Structure 1
Amino acid sequence: MLELNKIYQAKQKIADFIVKTPLAYAPFLSELYKAEIYLKKENLQLTGAYKIRGAYNKIANLSQKQKSKGVIAASAGNHAQGVAISARKFGIKAIIVMPESTPLLKVSATKNLGAQVLLKGDNFDEAYAFAINYAKEQGLIFIHPFEDELVMAGQGTLMLEMLDDISDLDTIIVPVGGGGLISGIASAAKQINPHIKIIGVGAKGAPAMYESFHAKKALNSNSVRTIADGIAVRDVSSINLKIILESVDEFVLVDDEEIANAVLFLLERHKIIVEGAGAASVAALLHQKIKLTHRKKIAAILSGGNIDVQMLNIIIEKGLFKAHRKMQINVTLIDKPGALLNLTDSLKNANANIVKIDYDRFSTKLNYGDAMISITLETKGKEHQEEVRKILTQKSFDFYETL
């Protein structure tokens, strides 16, 4: 494990720059598990994610000669912003290599912090390979996002903060990609109180660390695909895996549907905006992937909040359809005056609000003299949608649902 003293040193080193984020009680999750569950809101960090802790600690510990060379990092976004803002603080050059699929929000935010951004590769690992070679060519100092003791120590300060707030926490749930965050947290926790249970949560679309944990050896993935881009790591670090095997008690996976549900849950119930990786810990709780028997005080890490607005919109819209709060129907009508009015009157009687309507009379699938009406409705749940279907059937409308 990482030496506890290094984590305490990191806490002192970053104290004047890093936000001490809230550890807030989560009433809905607590009721679900009949326990006290708290959310560590790293989405409220300076750059919207925990990564700034490790990045700042690493750069702060560089010699003046190293700083003068400039730094480079590979990142899907959060580590990038952490390195960029830390480099700016020390007045040194920063180059960030990002995968080409990185959300625009993270690219723009990194540039706004003064770093030069290079988009290379389809995923983190390809961006990482490019950055390593570029660092050698240009004589830059490479800041690894997780395979570095100073970076891990910075991330471990999260655990010290949480124990300062609630000294008797007994379970910590941590999103896992490359393993830097959980390595730092678990190292601190187990040396302070060996009885604290550490649970890692990975994305099903990026299962390398999960599979390596259970196989007890490094097993890389061929590819990764998940909405949790912050933990979409293909290749396993043997250094981080060693610490994880020593100090992590349990490891579970959540899929993209479960992650999306957690993002929407946190937005609706707790008024918190998080990215996919940041919601992974809550996804594991919501979908009961974790057994918390005899565990009374649990902290779930919300590792980041830098979600792309378009992705958030997709998650919200899909969530509304899955929750029976929206429905889309296609209705075939005789194309004559009053036909559409009869349909809308029926929907009015069903107390369903129309939010979108399209009228098509030219489709080759239609008989001459017919029109296809596509309508998106706001509804109040499963029973309300059944009432809409019942009324349309009673009125003899020819309809079918598309979503």
Structure 2
Amino acid sequence: MAVVTLSDIRAAARRIAKGVVVSPCPESIPLSEITGARIFCKLDNLQRTGSFKERGARNALLLLSPAQKRRGVIAASAGNHALGLAYHGKLLGVPVTVVMPDYAPLIKITTCRRLGARVLIHGRDFAEARLEADRLVADEHLTYVHGFDNPGIIAGQGTMGLEILRQVPDVEAIVCPIGGAGLIAGIAIAVKALRPKVQIIGVESVATASFTAALQAQHPVSIPRAPTLADGLAVLRVGDGSFELARPLLDKVVRVDESWIALAILRMIELDKIVVEGAAAAPLAALMAGVLPELAERRVVLVVSGGNIDPAILSRVIEKGLVHDGRLTRFTAKISDRPGGLAELCRVIAASGASVKDIAHDRAFSGPDVSAVHAVCTVETRDHAHIKELHRALKKAGFPLVVVA
């Protein structure tokens, strides 16, 4: 098992100081209001490449021998580890190759290439990408830098814990996303060594709960691949070393549904003007979902691990968040196909205070009555209570709802 100590993390902090930003950790009044806790956000999405991964990447590269630096390094990564290696490899003159699975966000692929790395797209998941990387290690004599199960990486990530304790000295709990577990292992080692009473809580998506699976089995196990908007958490098996380091130090691990992650992304954009990726929104999602009631009124730091969300995905996530929030709804109403039918439907919608976003007519599947048509309506509303109010108004006006979403 890899051994990482507080001394290793302090050494990493000194080593990377000239190349990695000390990210801010401000208090968020709006997020505190919606969660009931006193929330601080550790904004590592403001690193140069948009993620905490720079910490471990730079530390690991600086620990290489001169020969290893000349030959170059390789890693399998869904994106953020690749970005960190590419950026700091360029700064330090170390050639970098990254193998990305096919679900890696386009923004991370293009940014990696712009930073000078050789990017190879291979495999349906991290495991297949790793096999290709291992083949290239043997063929090209490269050094493999694991994204979350490497002592240098874990020590580098742990520098965030040191910063949090300086920035929020009276912190009572740190809530951190879990993918491969390197970040939470590093933070936990640093924080528990200095402030053992601070709670360290991990958050996973229900779609990618590999740490929970490892806890149940008492050792890391592979889980099936499942779609997730938190690609940074899409690790099918936590690291052996990172799991063993983190397990005795974590106070709790919780899971959140994808819909809560989508809503948390929306909340952070709207309330704090912070663009985050799915993994970074998971800590807020856990508080919003009510799975951490014990943190009410306590000083809590949310680890905002990255902001590299694909713009195309972001637009869809925002819409999903609006649906979950009751601010976007869809229903199908049966209306008259004669003049005035649609106008009357729109009048009722407007009178209820809702706003029509889109209406499509479905005549072919509206039943045997040729004088009737199904109007598929997408409508903006205030909340779930407003949706129910709208439905009541439509039924009262004589518009039967055929399908409600």
CA distance in 1, matches of 2:62, 2:255: 35
Output aligned runs, 1:340-359, within 5 Å.
Answer: 340-359=342-361
Query: Do the aligned residues in 1 keep the contact of 2:39 with 2:300 (CA within 8 Å)?
Result: yes
Query: Do the aligned residues in 1 keep the contact of 2:31 with 2:271 (CA within 8 Å)?
Result: no
Residue identity matched to 2:146:
H
CA distance in 2, matches of 1:43, 1:341: 47
Cα 1:400–1:222, aligned 2, differ >3 Å: closer, same or farther?
Answer: closer
Shift of 1:291: 4.7
**In the alignment, structure 1 residue 254 sits paired with structure 2 residue 231:** no
Output aligned runs, 1:110-129, within 5 Å.
Answer: 110-129=112-131
Output aligned runs, 1:316-327, within 5 Å.
Answer: 316-327=318-329
Shift of 1:180: 0.8
Shift of 1:79: 0.4
**In the alignment, structure 1 residue 228 sits paired with structure 2 residue 259:** no
CA distance in 2, matches of 1:373, 1:294: 45
Query: Do the aligned residues in 2 keep the contact of 1:329 with 1:376 (CA within 8 Å)?
Result: yes
Shift of 1:312: 2.0
**In the alignment, structure 1 residue 77 sits paired with structure 2 residue 79:** yes
Cα 1:309–1:168, aligned 2, differ >3 Å: closer, same or farther?
Answer: same
Which residue is 1:372 aligned to? 374
Identity %: 35
Counterpart among 284, 287, 291 of residue 286 in structure 2:
284
Which residue is 2:338 aligned to? 336
Which residue is 1:201 aligned to? 203
Counterpart among 156, 161, 164 of residue 162 in structure 1:
164
**What stretches of structure 2 of length at least 5 have no aligned partner?**
none
Q: What are the superposed Cα offsets for residues 77-117 of structure 1, whole Å, 9 maximum, x if unpaired?
A: 10010011011112232111011111111111111111121
CA distance in 2, matches of 1:298, 1:157: 18
CA distance in 1, matches of 2:241, 2:120: 27
Which residue is 1:67 aligned to? 69
Cα 1:401–1:138, aligned 2, differ >3 Å: closer, same or farther?
Answer: same
Q: What are the superposed Cα offsets for residues 257-284 of structure 1, whole Å, 9 maximum, x if unpaired?
A: 2222222222222222211111111122
Shift of 1:362: 4.2
CA distance in 2, matches of 1:315, 1:328: 17
Residue identity matched to 2:327:
R
Q: What are the superposed Cα offsets for residues 265-317 of structure 1, whole Å, 9 maximum, x if unpaired?
A: 22222222211111111122222322536984221101111112232222221
CA distance in 2, matches of 1:394, 1:170: 52
Shift of 1:327: 2.4
Aligned Cα root-mean-square deviation (Å): 2.2
Output aligned runs, 1:239-318, within 5 Å.
Answer: 239-292=241-294, 296-318=298-320
Shift of 1:215: 4.2
Q: Say which SS state the counterpart of residue 294 (structure 2) adopts.
A: coil
Query: Do the aligned residues in 2 keep the contact of 1:260 with 1:315 (CA within 8 Å)?
Result: yes
CA distance in 2, matches of 1:323, 1:372: 26
Cα 1:328–1:145, aligned 2, differ >3 Å: closer, same or farther?
Answer: same
Shift of 1:234: 1.3
Q: What are the superposed Cα offsets for residues 187-239 of structure 1, whole Å, 9 maximum, x if unpaired?
A: 11122222222112222222222232354323332434432211211123221
TM-score (norm 1): 0.92
TM-score (norm 2): 0.92
Q: Say which SS state the counterpart of residue 292 (structure 1) adopts.
A: helix
Which residue is 2:219 aligned to? 217
Query: Do the aligned residues in 1 keep the contact of 2:263 with 2:322 (CA within 8 Å)?
Result: no
CA distance in 1, matches of 2:50, 2:65: 27
Q: Say which SS state the counterpart of residue 145 (structure 1) adopts.
A: coil
Q: Would you say how many aligned residue pairs link Structure 1 and Structure 2? A: 403
Cα 1:100–1:198, aligned 2, differ >3 Å: closer, same or farther?
Answer: same
Output aligned runs, 1:173-188, within 5 Å.
Answer: 173-188=175-190
Q: Say which SS state the counterpart of residue 167 (structure 1) adopts.
A: coil
Counterpart among 53, 56, 63 of residue 54 in structure 1:
56
Output aligned runs, 1:19-58, within 5 Å.
Answer: 19-31=21-33, 34-58=36-60
Cα 1:291–1:325, aligned 2, differ >3 Å: closer, same or farther?
Answer: closer
Cα 1:347–1:295, aligned 2, differ >3 Å: closer, same or farther?
Answer: closer
Cα 1:246–1:337, aligned 2, differ >3 Å: closer, same or farther?
Answer: closer
Cα 1:244–1:295, aligned 2, differ >3 Å: closer, same or farther?
Answer: farther
Instruction: Identify which range, 235-244 or 362-371, moves more after superposition.
Output: 362-371
Cα 1:171–1:384, aligned 2, differ >3 Å: closer, same or farther?
Answer: closer
